[in-house]
């Protein structure tokens, strides 16, 4: 069977990129963020990204496959439901700042996405979430125990792949997962009495969300063989992009735009998950804003009915606190772009700028 190939010199790609019809078909299904598509269509750049992402998709599905049909279905449940694939995309982009996409980069990108998937299985159990990516969650289909163990299994397999990449990858995976756990624990416990609620929340988001996106930047530059300075830049960039990503999610939860992803607007409100719009609203109420105080009473009331939830979402969306939260997300995105300043101008840097913008301007 014939294969298509693409080669480039001088664009951060060190090898011929060959992909068979199966990989080509996977590439055709990948939906990049809208703000990134124009850059990805660059004739000297796009093929490296798209074929790299398709190879990650194929390796991901292979890595989570299982001979037991029930375990196989449970493991594939979220992977086949789709997703933004933000983290592996960043690994691919970061590698292009060095020698480019190679097999170790593909493996690292797969590890990052598997780790992310594992946390989603656990999150859905903790949140008792009915839907994920528009489909019933694993715990709704198979129950809590199967969902938790499936997440553990996927994480274990990600760790095996990391071990194949050597001690640096193992250490990075361990540190990242430690931060993911700490972020989840600190969110569950809440801020200490003397601790500022917003500062606590931003630290939670740094650990719970940004740590894995920072790891994606580090993985890509490490296995793309970029220099140490570039590795540090992409790690810091990923941290800031990750916080921007989560804060944008907070706003999307109350603007209704997140319906596109299958998540019902106001899910975080109903589940009493603290988000930046709510925290800023409470600050406004505590400062004497009577309207903010009324909305606080509304979101703290019973939101079990769809009507009450919809009304609370509309009320919060109209508050200045939500716009301020959006501005904070945009600032984190702008700060991430500033971190890229030392990098040479070119298509890869332009793509990273677009990536930082896309995580906060997406529709869900």
Q: List, in sequence order, every residue forming a beta bridge with 229; answer none if it has no partner.
A: none
How many domains are contained in the chain? 2
Reported as a single tens digit per residue, the pLDDT across 106-144 is 999 999 999 999 999 888 888 777 777 677 888 888 888
| pLDDT at residue 11 greater than cutoff 60 | no
| pLDDT at residue 17 greater than cutoff 60 | no
- Domain match, 210 and 252 both: no
| pLDDT at residue 27 greater than cutoff 70 | no
Q: What is the DSSP letter of 209?
A: I
| pLDDT at residue 186 greater than cutoff 90 | yes
Of residues 173 and 10, more confidence is placed in 173
Domain that holds residue 84: 20-224
- Domain match, 244 and 263 both: yes
Q: Which three-class secondary structure state does DSSP give residue 353?
A: helix
Statement: the pTM of the whole predicted model exceeds 0.85:
yes
* CA gap 361, 333 in Å, rounded: 10
What mean pLDDT do residues 204-230 have? 97
- Domain match, 220 and 233 both: no
Residue 8: what pLDDT?
31
- Domain match, 204 and 231 both: no
Residue 363: what pLDDT?
63
Q: Which three-class secondary structure state does DSSP give residue 307?
A: helix
| pLDDT at residue 21 greater than cutoff 50 | yes
Residue 22: what pLDDT?
53
Q: Is residue 286 part of a domain?
A: yes
For position 48, which CATH number holds?
1.10.600.10
What's the Cα-to-Cα distance from 269 to each of 68, 181, 260, rounded to whole Å? 38, 22, 18
* CA gap 48, 40 in Å, rounded: 9
- Domain match, 44 and 164 both: yes
What mean pLDDT do residues 337-352 have? 93
* CA gap 200, 191 in Å, rounded: 6
Task: Tell me the DSSP string of 166-183.
Answer: -HHHHHHHHHHHHHHHHH
Judged by average pLDDT, the poorest of 34-48, 150-164, 337-351 is: 34-48
- Domain match, 213 and 243 both: no
- Domain match, 61 and 110 both: yes
pLDDT above 90 as % of the chain:
62
- Domain match, 151 and 246 both: no
Token pair listed for 101: 């996409």
Residue 5: what pLDDT?
30
All residues at 6 or more sequence positions from 49 whose CB lies less than 8 Å from its CB, including other chains:
32, 40, 89, 92, 93, 96, 351
| pLDDT at residue 1 greater than cutoff 70 | no
Token pair listed for 337: 């772009």
Identify the burial level of 173 via C-beta atoms within 10 angstroms of its C-beta, where 0-12 means exposed, 13-18 middle and 19 or more buried: buried
Computed over every residue of the chain, the mean pLDDT equals 86
Q: Is residue 12 part of a domain?
A: no
- Domain match, 261 and 218 both: no
| pLDDT at residue 210 greater than cutoff 80 | yes
Task: Tell me the DSSP string of 1-50.
Answer: ---EEE--SSSS--S-EEE-HHHHHHHHH----GGGHHHHT-TTTHHHHH
Judged by average pLDDT, the poorest of 41-45, 117-121, 158-162, 353-357 is: 41-45
User: 312-316 contacts: CB < 8 A, separation 24 or more?
Assistant: 312/266, 312/269, 313/254, 313/256, 313/265, 313/266, 313/269, 316/254, 316/269, 316/277, 316/278, 316/281
Q: What is the CA radius of gyration of the chain?
A: 21
Judged by average pLDDT, the poorest of 204-218, 249-263, 271-285 is: 249-263
Q: How confident is the model at residue 45 (pLDDT cuts 50, 70, 90)?
A: confident
Q: Is residue 364 part of a domain?
A: no
Residue 14: what pLDDT?
35
Q: Is residue 331 part of a domain?
A: yes
Q: Is residue 177 part of a domain?
A: yes
Residue 362: what pLDDT?
72
Residue 136: what pLDDT?
82
Q: Which three-class secondary structure state does DSSP give residue 263?
A: coil
- Domain match, 201 and 234 both: no
* CA gap 205, 86 in Å, rounded: 16
Span between the terminal Cα atoms of the chain, in Å: 39
* CA gap 23, 53 in Å, rounded: 9
What mean pLDDT do residues 227-256 have? 94
Reported as a single tens digit per residue, the pLDDT across 50-92 is 889 889 999 999 999 999 998 999 998 888 877 778 899 999 9
Of residues 14 and 213, more confidence is placed in 213
Residue 107: what pLDDT?
97
């Amino acid at each position: 069977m014939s294969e298509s190939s693409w080669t480039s010199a001088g664009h951060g790609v060190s090898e011929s990129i060959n992909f068979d019809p199966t990989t080509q078909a996977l590439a055709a299904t990948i939906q990049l963020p809208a703000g990134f598509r124009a850059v990805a269509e660059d004739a000297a750049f796009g093929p490296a990204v798209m074929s790299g992402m398709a190879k990650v998709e194929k390796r991901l599905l292979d890595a989570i496959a299982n001979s037991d049909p029930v375990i196989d279905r449970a493991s594939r449940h979220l992977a086949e439901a789709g997703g933004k694939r933000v983290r592996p995309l960043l690994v691919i982009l970061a590698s292009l700042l060095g020698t480019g996409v190679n097999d170790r980069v593909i493996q690292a990108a797969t590890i990052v996405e598997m780790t992310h998937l594992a946390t989603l299985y656990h999150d859905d159990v903790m949140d008792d979430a009915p839907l994920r990516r528009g489909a019933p969650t694993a715990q709704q289909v198979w129950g809590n125990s199967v969902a938790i163990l499936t997440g553990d299994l996927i994480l274990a397999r990600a760790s095996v792949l990391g071990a194949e990449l050597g001690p640096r990858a193992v250490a990075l995976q361990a540190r990242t997962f430690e931060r993911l756990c700490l972020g989840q624990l600190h969110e569950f416990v809440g801020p200490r009495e003397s601790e500022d609620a917003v500062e606590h929340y931003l630290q939670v988001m740094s650990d719970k969300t940004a740590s894995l996106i920072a790891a994606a930047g580090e993985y890509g530059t490490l296995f793309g063989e970029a220099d140490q300075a570039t590795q540090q830049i992409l790690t810091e960039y990923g941290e800031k992009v990750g916080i921007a990503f989560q804060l944008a999610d907070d706003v999307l939860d109350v603007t209704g735009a997140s319906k596109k992803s299958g998540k019902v607007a106001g899910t975080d409100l109903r589940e009493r998950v603290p988000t930046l719009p709510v925290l800023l609203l409470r600050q406004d109420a505590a400062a004497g804003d009577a309207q903010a105080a009324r909305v606080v009473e509304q979101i703290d009331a019973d939101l079990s009915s769809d009507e009450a939830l919809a009304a609370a979402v509309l009320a919060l969306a109209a508050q200045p606190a939500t716009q301020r939260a959006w501005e904070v997300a945009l600032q984190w995105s702008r700060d991430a772009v500033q971190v890229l300043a030392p990098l040479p101008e070119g298509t890869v840097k332009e793509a990273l700028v677009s990536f930082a913008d896309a995580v906060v301007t997406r529709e869900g």
